[in-house]
Chain A
Amino acid sequence: MSRISTGFGPRPAGGGFETFSWYFFRVSGVVLIFLVIIHLIVMHVTTDVRCTTYMFVSMRYSNPFWRLFDWLLLTLALTHGMNGLRLVVDDYVRSASARVWLQSAVAVLLLVFFMLGTITLITFQPVPAAQQGVQCVAPPTK
Chain B
Amino acid sequence: MYKGQSGMWSWLFHRVSGLAILLFLLIHIVDISMLGFGPVVYNNSIVLFDQWIVRLLSLALIAAILFHAFNGIRIILIDFWPKAVKYQKVLFVIAMVVTIVLFIPAAYFVMGPVLSWFINVPTASVGH
Task: Identify the A interface with B (CB < 8 A).
Answer: 7-8, 11, 26, 29-30, 32-33, 36-37, 40, 44-55, 57, 74, 77-78, 81-82, 84-85, 88, 109, 113, 116-117, 119-120, 123-124, 127, 133-142
Contacts and interface: CB of A to CB of B under 8 A. Distances in A.
Contacts of B26: 109, 113
A48 B25 contact: no
A104 to B, nearest CB: 17
19 contacts: A37-B69, A45-B109, A46-B124, A48-B113, A49-B55, A50-B46, A50-B50, A53-B46, A74-B29, A81-B21, A81-B22, A113-B25, A117-B33, A127-B39, A133-B127, A135-B127, A140-B126, A140-B127, A141-B113
A-B residue pairs, 8 tightest by C-beta: A81-B22, A54-B39, A48-B125, A50-B50, A134-B127, A140-B125, A141-B116, A49-B49
A135 B116 CA distance: 20
Given A47-B124, A52-B46, A57-B35, 9 more contacts: A11-B79, A44-B109, A49-B58, A124-B35, A135-B127, A135-B128, A136-B125, A137-B46, A137-B47
Contacts, number: 133
Given A84-B19, A137-B50, A36 B39 contact: no
A128 to B, nearest CB: 12
A12 to B, nearest CB: 11
Interface in B24-57: 25-26, 29-30, 32-33, 35-36, 38-39, 42-43, 46-47, 49-50, 55
Contacts of A142: 113-114, 116-117
A24 to B, nearest CB: 13
A-side interface mostly: helix
Interface residues of B, number: 46
Contact of B124 (A48, A53, A117): A48
A47 B65 contact: no
Output the residue of A88, A117, A127, A133 with the most chain B CB within 10 A: A117
A117 B38 CA distance: 16
B50 A116 contact: no
